[in-house]
Amino acid sequence: MATWNSRGLRGSTLEEFINRTCEQYREKGLALIQKVPTPITPVRIDQQSRHITLAYFDQKSTVDYIGAVQGIPVCFDAKECSTDNFPLQNIHAHQVEFMRDFERQQGIAFLILYFSHRDEIYYMPFAQVLKFWERGRNGGLKHFKYTELEPQWFLRKTGNILVPFLEGVQRDLEQR
């Protein structure tokens, strides 16, 4: 069974940036996206601070965010990477299955990847996720390389929008 401990803060910078971006998009009436909480069962609680220090995940989570952009359902997961190789083990089978089902319902599913060592953000459409996932399942590389990514999907911070994923959603729609 999976457990949560101090490693639970991995990716928290990216998620904080995405949360702020979602708030700005909501304020502007462009999108309504919410963070999906991961259900946990606390095992150990620090009595002084009342913080959970050890917990078990109740169930497998689907994706990190879900909502609507101008009436179009969207879901995505946020992943952070500190090297030029992204291990496919960081994307779980139940997440791929959920995103596949979401797309079958006419939604848009994608990943937001943050290459922290480069300070670059990449919008990965589900079709790309699936391509790399299937390659790994069929005996190919169990990771994908930064150099395999398509330049047009890198997101550029504009103004005070930290993770401008609506640019990616727009491009995704145009290419369908």
Q: pLDDT tier at 33 (50, 70, 90 boundaries)?
A: very high
Of the candidates 72, 68, 70, 73, the one whose C-alpha atom is nearest the C-alpha of residue 32 is 68
Return the pLDDT at 43. Answer: 72
pLDDT digits (tens, 9 = 90+) for 34-80: 998 776 677 778 888 877 777 665 556 689 999 999 999 999 999 99
| 101 in a known ligand binding site | no
Q: CA 167, CA 121: separation in Å to the nearest integer? A: 12
Return the pLDDT at 58. Answer: 59
In the chain, the percentage of residues whose pLDDT exceeds 70 is 88
Return the pLDDT at 95. Answer: 94
Q: What class has domain 12-37+62-174? A: alpha beta
| 77 in a known ligand binding site | yes
Return the pLDDT at 3. Answer: 40
- Cα separations in angstroms, 10 against 4, 36, 176: 11, 16, 33
pLDDT digits (tens, 9 = 90+) for 123-139: 999 999 999 999 999 99
| 128 in a known ligand binding site | no
| 41 in a known ligand binding site | no
Whether 66 and 75 have beta carbons less than 8 Å apart is answered as yes
Return the pLDDT at 21. Answer: 96
When the pLDDT of each residue in the chain is averaged and rounded to a whole number, the result is: 88
User: Residue 1 pLDDT more than 70?
Assistant: no
**Over the Cα atoms of the chain, what is R_g?**
17
Domain extent listing, the chain: 12-37+62-174
